Every structure is written in structure tokens, then in C-alpha cells.
């Protein structure tokens, strides 16, 4: 595979740890960031895990080309932190290597749903997860972490301008709301996976009632039962069916390879 | 079993009948020809990060491990990085950052490049789009519609890279898609 590359250099960022008592503020900060900072500063990003039943939030922030915390990320730094490991690094890998996020979970999986930008709904969606986090706590080794991923229209526009909107994304700020769950024993697989699915159903009942539900499923975070390719919309789904017939005439990848999302 | 499962999520552990670790595109091509002929079920693993059952290993089938496909090079002329699916993002970034460049890839170094055909959310996406939008080419094609093929055939991408399409269906993506 050959990828385009872009200039790299100094980068500011690192790991910040908060208590989940600030979960509401964090979710609101995502909304503020999407309305302001993510638009004004395209070189900022984060990877966040809200460990509900560990009472711990791990957030890694980055700002390419910056040597101090940019204003765009300020909403996240108005929240009291337990630990702030941010600093300036010579390279992204230096930042990553200096800020490891190690989770001790044995079995794990994920599921995702997509929420249009709305401050109140971000807060409510995260709070709606509490009952499912509590259910995971009843399972041996159960962990439950939210991974809210703010998606800007500039990401979607950049995607559309390079080879078309193959994932069928709407030009609207959205939050790819992923839940990561962990547990110890195979005997609990079905129960754990059902808790993740129930979480998605609960959040979607909220977002649908408010007109803030988007059907897109991000394949990289999708549960096995989620129909990622169908979520790209009827036109893309049909096009992908044609591509499959043309380049995989014996349906080898639909039938002979059990893994991977299928055209269903 | 260590090779079959490693430190991956046990939800994805399987017991393959045969593990094949190609070191060249020709190796993969030959393997796929044989699998097409025998009709055997198979799985393909790049970084092996996915916890989903059956995605990167298999019971009663063949597991193709891409871990030895470690080619990694930078093209100064068009500022692209070309790498085999045996590399993780950390390998790619460590290399390109010595040259002052970065591709739009994973947010942690321990994830593998199969992130890209899934769409691929990167820390650089806000400026440059998703990882899949930043593919300059596969070994078999450069047409813009390649993105559709990548998204529909996430597993196929690994093999496309190793010239499956030259070996199996006789219609190369480079000329038609």
C-alpha cells in the first residue's frame, strides 16, 4: 500500500487523566471543540477513553506544529486533571512513546453509533451508558470505556474531494460514539456483546427521538452484527455490490473468507 | 498456538489448520491460487488488532500471516511511503519521521495498516481526510474508485497488495475499476 505523506515536525500534546466525576464537562467540551476549535485549528486531535466503571478518563491530545496548548483545545484543559503529561516533542512517535496508554483487559470488543453535534445529547448519551457499565461490572473482569470521536465537516469534505464519498458521510459535525468493553472469560462473551449492543440501542433511541441519529457505522469500530457497508447508503451499497461482482466473480471474499464485513 | 493467537483479544483466538507466512507477493499469489482451487476457508492477518471473531484467524482453515511482508520505502519524487502489511503504524511513522514526513494513519503505533481500508480515523484527518482518502496507490491500481474497492474488500486489500488480482480473477483493477 502506498500512502501520501505530509510534512511532520514538532508536536505538542500528551496524556491527560481525569476523574469521571468530570464526565459531563468532558462531553460538553467535545461539543464546544466541534463548534469552535476543531474548525479554527485543523492540526488538533485527541483519543479519549472514558472508563466509566474505573472512574478514570484517559485522553491523549495532539497539536501538530504547536509548542504549547492551542486555544482550540482549551475546553479540555478547563477540566481539572489528575495528571497532565502534555509537553512538546520532536516527533509524533516521541509523543506516543512517552505517553503509553496500557489497558489491562483480557477479552475485549467494541460497537459504535453516530450522533450529530449537540451539547446536551453528548452529555445525555454518555450518562445513558451508566446502567450498561454497571451491568459490565457484574461480569468477571468487566470494564466499560467510551471512546467519543469528534468528526468535523472538514474531514468529510476532504474525504469527498478524494475519490468520492464512498462511506456516504453527511456534511454535518458528528460524534462517532464507540464503546469498548473488556472482560475475562469466554463464558461471558455473549453477555458482554449483548451489553454493547444494548448500549447502542439505548443511545439510538435517544438520538432518533431528537433527530440527531446518523446511520453511518464506522467499520473500524463496528461490532460484528453491525452492518457497516449497508450504512454507507443505498447508492454506495449498490456500487459496492457491482464492484464485488466484477472483481470477485467467484464471491471468494463473500464466502471463502469468514472474516470481514460482507455485502449484506 | 502462540503464532496463531499471540497477544490478541482471546475473543479472536482460533485454531488454524495451517499457518502460512508469505515473504513475497509471489508467495501470496501462489497461496491464493491454491485456496481458490481447493475452496478452503481462510483468514488473513495484518496487525491483528481486531477483536472480532474470524477476522484475523480461523478454525479448520488456513491463516495467512502478513507479518513478514515488511517492505518499507519512501519515494522522494512523489512524497509517498510504500509499505507491506507486515508493518505496524509505529514502524511506518518511525521511518517517515526521520524524513520529516507522516502519512495519515493510525493514532497509536501498535495498530496495523488494515485500519486504512476500514476508513481509518487519524489524528491528521481534520486537515487531510481519512486514511483511506490518502492512498496514493495499491500495487495493482491508482484509480480514484480504488477507494470503493478498498472499503468493500477490507480483507481483499491485503491480497490485492500481493497481486491477487493478477493471479485470480483476470481483470486487473488498474485498467477498469
Top-confidence residue, A54 or B164: A54
Cell numbers given for B7? 497477544
List pLDDT tens digits, range B83-128.
988 999 999 999 999 999 999 999 999 999 989 988 999 999 999 9
ipTM for the predicted complex: 0.95
Contact between chains at A256 and B41 (C-beta distance less than 8 A): yes
Cβ–Cβ under 8 Å, residues A146 and A50:
yes
Distance CA A262, CA A198 (A): 23
Domain A8-102 identical in fold to domain A105-232: yes
Pick from B131, B145, B114: which is nearest to A159 by CA?
Answer: B131
Which residues on chain B are in Cβ contact (under 8 Å) with A45?
A: 107, 122-126
Q: Measured between beta carbons, which residues in chain B are less than 8 angstroms from residue A259?
A: 43-44, 52, 54-56, 58, 155
Q: What is the fold, at CATH topology level, of the domain defined by A105-232?
A: Alpha-Beta Plaits (3.30.70)
Q: Domains, chain B, ranges and CATH?
A: 2-68 (3.30.43.10), 72-151 (no CATH)
CB-based contact B128:B172 (threshold 8 Å) = no
What is the chain A residue with the closest CA to B86? A1
Contact A162 B119 (CB under 8 A): no
| pLDDT value of position A240 | 83
pLDDT digits (tens, 9 = 90+) for B146-155: 566 666 555 5
Whole-number pLDDT of residue A184: 93
Highest mean pLDDT range out of A81-85, A255-259, B10-14? A81-85
How would CATH label the architecture of A8-102? 2-Layer Sandwich (3.30)
Contact between residue B53 and residue A224 where contact means Cβ atoms under 8 Å apart: yes
Residues A78-97 pLDDT 10s = 999 999 999 999 999 999 99
pLDDT digits (tens, 9 = 90+) for A200-249: 999 999 999 999 999 999 999 999 999 999 999 999 899 888 888 887 78
Residue-wise pLDDT for A106-136, tens only, equals 899 999 999 999 999 999 999 999 999 999 9
Is residue B177 over pLDDT 70?
Answer: no
pTM of the model: 0.91
Helix (H) or strand (E) holding A51: strand A44-51
Q: Locate the domains of chain A by residue range.
A: 8-102, 105-232
Amino acid at each position: 500500500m502506498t500512502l501520501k505523506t505530509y510534512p511532520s515536525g514538532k508536536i505538542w500534546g500528551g496524556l491527560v487523566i481525569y476523574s469521571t466525576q468530570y464526565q459531563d464537562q468532558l462531553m460538553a467540551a467535545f461539543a464546544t471543540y466541534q463548534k469552535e476549535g476543531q474548525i479554527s485549528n485543523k492540526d488538533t486531535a485527541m483519543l479519549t477513553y472514558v472508563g466509566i466503571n474505573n472512574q478514570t478518563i484517559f485522553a491523549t491530545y495532539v497539536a501538530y506544529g504547536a509548542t504549547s496548548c492551542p486555544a482550540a483545545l482549551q475546553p479540555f484543559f478547563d477540566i481539572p486533571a489528575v495528571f497532565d503529561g502534555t509537553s512538546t516533542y520532536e516527533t509524533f512517535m516521541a509523543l506516543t512513546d512517552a505517553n503509553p496508554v496500557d489497558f489491562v483487559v483480557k477479552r475485549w470488543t467494541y460497537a459504535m453509533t453516530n450522533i450529530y453535534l449537540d451539547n446536551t445529547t453528548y452529555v445525555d448519551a454518555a450518562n445513558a451508558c451508566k446502567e450498561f457499565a454497571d451491568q459490565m461490572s457484574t461480569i468477571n473482569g468487566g470494564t466499560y470505556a467510551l471512546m467519543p470521536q469528534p468528526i468535523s465537516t472538514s474531514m468529510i469534505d476532504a474525504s469527498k474531494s478524494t475519490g468520492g464519498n464512498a462511506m456516504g458521510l453527511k456534511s454535518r459535525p458528528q460524534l462517532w460514539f464507540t464503546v469498548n468493553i473488556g472482560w475475562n472469560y469466554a463464558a461471558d462473551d455473549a453477555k458482554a456483546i449483548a451489553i454493547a449492543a444494548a448500549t447502542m440501542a439505548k443511545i439510538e433511541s435517544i438520538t432518533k427521538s431528537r433527530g440527531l441519529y446518523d446511520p453511518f457505522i464506522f467499520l473500524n469500530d463496528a461490532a460484528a452484527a453491525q452492518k457497516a457497508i449497508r450504512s454507507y447508503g443505498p447508492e454506495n451499497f449498490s456500487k459496492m455490490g457491482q464492484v464485488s461482482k466484477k472483481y470477485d466473480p467467484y464471491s471468494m471474499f463473500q464466502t471463502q473468507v469468514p472474516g470481514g464485513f460482507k455485502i449484506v | 498456538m502462540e503464532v496463531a493467537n499471540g497477544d490478541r483479544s482471546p475473543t479472536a483466538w482460533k485454531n488454524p489448520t495451517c499457518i502460512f507466512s508469505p515473504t513475497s507477493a509471489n508467495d501470496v499469489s501462489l497461496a491464493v491460487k491454491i485456496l481458490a482451487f481447493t475452496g478452503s476457508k481462510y483468514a488473513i492477518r495484518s496487525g491483528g488488532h481486531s477483536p472480532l471473531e474470524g477476522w484475523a484467524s480461523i478454525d479448520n482453515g488456513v491463516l495467512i500471516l502478513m507479518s513478514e511482508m515488511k517492505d518499507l520505502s519512501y519515494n522522494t519524487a512523489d512524497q509517498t511511503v510504500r509499505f507491506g502489511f507486515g508493518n505496524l503504524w509505529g514502524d511506518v511513522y518511525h521511518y517517515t519521521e526521520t524524513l520529516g514526513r507522516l502519512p495519515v494513519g493510525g493514532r497509536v503505533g501498535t495498530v496495523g495498516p488494515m485500519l486504512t481500508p476500514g476508513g481509518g480515523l487519524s489524528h491528521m484527518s481534520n486537515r487531510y481526510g481519512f486514511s483511506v482518502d490518502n492512498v496514493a496507490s495499491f500495487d495493482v491500481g491508482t484509480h480514484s474508485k480504488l477507494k470503493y474497492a478498498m472499503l468493500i474488500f477490507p480483507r481483499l486489500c491485503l491480497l490485492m497488495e500481493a497481486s491477487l488480482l493478477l493471479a485470480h480473477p483476470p481483470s486487473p483493477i488498474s485498467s477498469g475499476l
